Structure 1
């Protein structure tokens, strides 16, 4: 067997090569057109004043939509860094298998998340690097408590870098990072009776990054959001918003949309419980309750929720409460079941911290006036880490399993590249056809333009309002005065035009 470092370089290279080729075929969509226009140049020269404090994501977005090589390299590098950070949580000697598992799981994220991250460049540079920095900081903090000796100078330098730069991508991640590093610093001081110099420096850099973000003038309007609630109406409005977010938006974004990975987590936990002597020696009713709590959500989601399309009945209060109750039962049961697993204490601690992070993010999301779908990318990554940690407790490092995983991931890569190539081809074809139709018949009242195939992987690749239609025309050098009628894919008969 080749040395571990050489083996991992092989996997890193494959992952990087895939994303590098994949991103070549992703067209600019939605707000990418705006960043490509004079708006992006003006925002850049004004140092993103009145845009937001996401300085690094804005900077990357500005250069990415202007220069393709920068787009290809940054997109690929950030994606590989995230997968590598995820695998860092898995404590096994040979990480090649888990790298491919993590890589594959990041490919099969729900399309509702894919289009807000990998299928939209502004979303990608907002959510993916922010998540990578957050996950790395979380890994570093956990490691410094459990196994400090494994940290090297390289790890410390990366931690300091993400502590500062990681706060300049997404406000919600900045808030999480500040609280997590402060809690870690206080906990370390209480446990060891002195402050960790490395955590202290990381905390200072994190606070500096937060300060740089929030001095942006666009956050002046946030002062009203932090006012003290002074009336029962304020509390009622906050409670109602939290209830709606938790029972509808968060329930779907964190749980129902991730039914595949949550089902896998439930199955692995059940297998580990069956191997645990502690759990097998527990009472019969205790076993029934825990097994039942683990299977209730997957069964309900697959057999009832999806079969009867319950997602369209959000106005039914009782149904929303039922959905959230089943989710709560599953989540609590999974946390309790971890205590029965015969795994290392440090691994249990990591799982509890990840579960706690998940609960904290859900609680914080519940207070938002508007929850962006991209926020759930962070929670999906946490689910992936939990699944990989649990899988590492099983004996799956066998030759046939490794071959099977590699084959599946390679097949997925080929499928995704082919799909995105086809999307890009059809996108160029529809623009070319539109220009041809206009020059052939410039007096026509309107021109039909087909939507793209597989549009669920892109965020509004076809404009849905006048503002983005104008930007769409400007980007593709189409005269603004012509009227376009967007129609479903493969619905245009050229003889009808």
Structure 2
């Protein structure tokens, strides 16, 4: 039995190696300190005031059906001292679950997973980790998605000692999991039902899988019963639309902006996938008389992905979401899809690991696909598929490690991963320390003006605007919510001045 197969067919020890709890504790403490520096912004000002309370009392009717996500943001915007801790623990859990999915509970696994999660595109970071309103839906929804994947692996591996007890917990958890964000809900419905059917056909225990499927269906029914989705379907929604101007519009959006967000912005991850697959090809060459041409196709596709992704990314200037080359983003996205499928079927020797990669690739496609027909969409929608791509990279790492043909690789991964983590965190601390200082100073200055009886004040925009989602109250609605959130007089005139 291979290492990967064994990983999912035997119970796990509490700690895989002595330093594991210390790594998680240090990461949680560091991320909590960083999250303390994140300012409230955009929708946070509404959720943290009477606006959020009214939405709750109305049952979110006509707003959306994200009951779990909405309740989470209502809570988090009212407990500012706990929010950084919850954000940090969630990121740690995401990393831990990715490692569990890939079966790489090693120092190298932690180094790689942490580096790849922290090195996500800046747009995803600011909208799903920094922004409480985005975190409550996308990061927590992604966490639930990964819990399901781990449970599905257990269904096909060692199974459950007390399946009925686990199912009793899984059912309400699955219902809640389907009430965070729509495309994760759709994915959970499809994935849980497919998993259940396959288990039944294989004549394996499906009690827990059945609970997941039932819970996902119930949660989806609750979510999509909200009138907001009927408004989207009949074209009367003031915020969202589905289908655009028809099939041509869907294809244009899918091959352009959606492909850009899904693939081309993942610079560090794309390079990591290229290096991992190149290492696999090299180790395969050691035991083969000649190089398999399919392996060269895989490498060529990944090189194309990295090169064209860089070109697309460079075409996007700081003040825009898309650039001149965005319409060509489908080429690196398609090349990555071909590369991952070929790598899983021709390079990965472990059967369980190969099937897991293919399942994750299919899952990512299911999560990304709906974005082609929806507006508006943004970087936050692509956190769940990004995490699945990270899991695939970790699975390649597990395959390389199992072969033992590159004995120094774990040391190299630990060194490179740790260096990446230190650089990314160092940069984030420098940026968010300044943002936090300016945010506090701005609020204190406004309050001083109010105490002096003045009715008008000009304040600067927060610095490093690309690191915070909607950092300044730039319209009438946001300004009113900003004042409520900070308990400022409604008749106070605040003018936000651009920085030079």
- Length-normalised TM-score, structure 2: 0.84
Match of 2:254 in 1: 246
Asked if the contact 1:297/1:330 (under 8 Å) is kept, the reply is yes
Question: How far off its partner does 1:182 sit?
Answer: 0.6
Question: How far off its partner does 1:348 sit?
Answer: 0.5
Gapped regions of structure 1 (runs ≥ 5): 226-233, 492-497
- Length-normalised TM-score, structure 1: 0.84
CA pair 370-88 structure 1, distance change in 2 beyond 3 A? same
CA pair 269-462 structure 1, distance change in 2 beyond 3 A? same
Aligned residue among 68, 76, 81 for 2:80 = 68
Give the distance between the partners of 1:397 and 1:267, measured in 2 at CA. Answer: 11
Give the distance between the partners of 2:126 and 2:32, measured in 1 at CA. Answer: 18
Aligned residue among 431, 435, 439 for 1:423 = 435
Give the distance between the partners of 1:354 and 1:11, measured in 2 at CA. Answer: 27
Match of 1:475 in 2: 485
Asked if the contact 1:82/1:129 (under 8 Å) is kept, the reply is no
Question: How far off its partner does 1:117 sit?
Answer: 0.9
Q: How does 1:196-345 map to 2 (within 5 A)?
A: 196-222=206-232, 224=234, 237-277=245-285, 286=294, 288-302=296-310, 304-307=311-314, 309=316, 322-345=328-351
Asked if the contact 1:242/1:366 (under 8 Å) is kept, the reply is yes
Q: Equivalent residue of 1:48, what SS? A: coil
Match of 1:123 in 2: 134
Question: How far off its partner does 1:362 sit?
Answer: 2.5
Per-residue deviation, residues 362-390 of structure 1 (Å, max 9, x unmatched):
22222224323311111211111111111
Give the distance between the partners of 1:179 and 1:220, measured in 2 at CA. Answer: 21
RMSD: 3.3
Match of 1:495 in 2: none
CA pair 314-117 structure 1, distance change in 2 beyond 3 A? closer
CA pair 277-182 structure 1, distance change in 2 beyond 3 A? same
Q: How does 1:476-495 map to 2 (within 5 A)?
A: 476-489=486-499, 491=500
Match of 1:494 in 2: none
Give the distance between the partners of 1:62 and 1:198, measured in 2 at CA. Answer: 31
Give the distance between the partners of 2:295 and 2:85, measured in 1 at CA. Answer: 51
Asked if the contact 2:171/2:214 (under 8 Å) is kept, the reply is no
Match of 2:26 in 1: 14
Match of 2:395 in 1: 389
Asked if the contact 1:136/1:159 (under 8 Å) is kept, the reply is no
Q: Equivalent residue of 2:266, what SS? A: helix
Asked if the contact 1:168/1:209 (under 8 Å) is kept, the reply is yes
Question: How far off its partner does 1:399 sit?
Answer: 4.9
Question: How far off its partner does 1:341 sit?
Answer: 1.1
Q: Which segment is superposed worse, 288-297 or 396-405?
A: 396-405
Q: Which segment is superposed worse, 37-46 or 379-388?
A: 37-46
Question: How far off its partner does 1:160 sit?
Answer: 4.3
Question: How far off its partner does 1:150 sit?
Answer: 8.2
Per-residue deviation, residues 427-474 of structure 1 (Å, max 9, x unmatched):
11123334445667937xx64311112221211111221211222233
Match of 2:106 in 1: 95
Q: Equivalent residue of 1:486, what SS? A: strand
Match of 1:55 in 2: 67
Asked if the contact 2:305/2:331 (under 8 Å) is kept, the reply is no
Q: Equivalent residue of 1:177, what SS? A: helix
Asked if the contact 1:137/1:162 (under 8 Å) is kept, the reply is no
Gapped regions of structure 2 (runs ≥ 5): 1-13, 236-241, 402-407
Aligned residue among 172, 187, 190 for 2:198 = 187
Give the distance between the partners of 1:279 and 1:309, measured in 2 at CA. Answer: 44
2:465 equivalent to 1:460 = no
Larger-Rg structure: 1
Give the distance between the partners of 2:193 and 2:42, measured in 1 at CA. Answer: 37
Q: Equivalent residue of 1:213, what SS? A: helix
Match of 1:109 in 2: 120
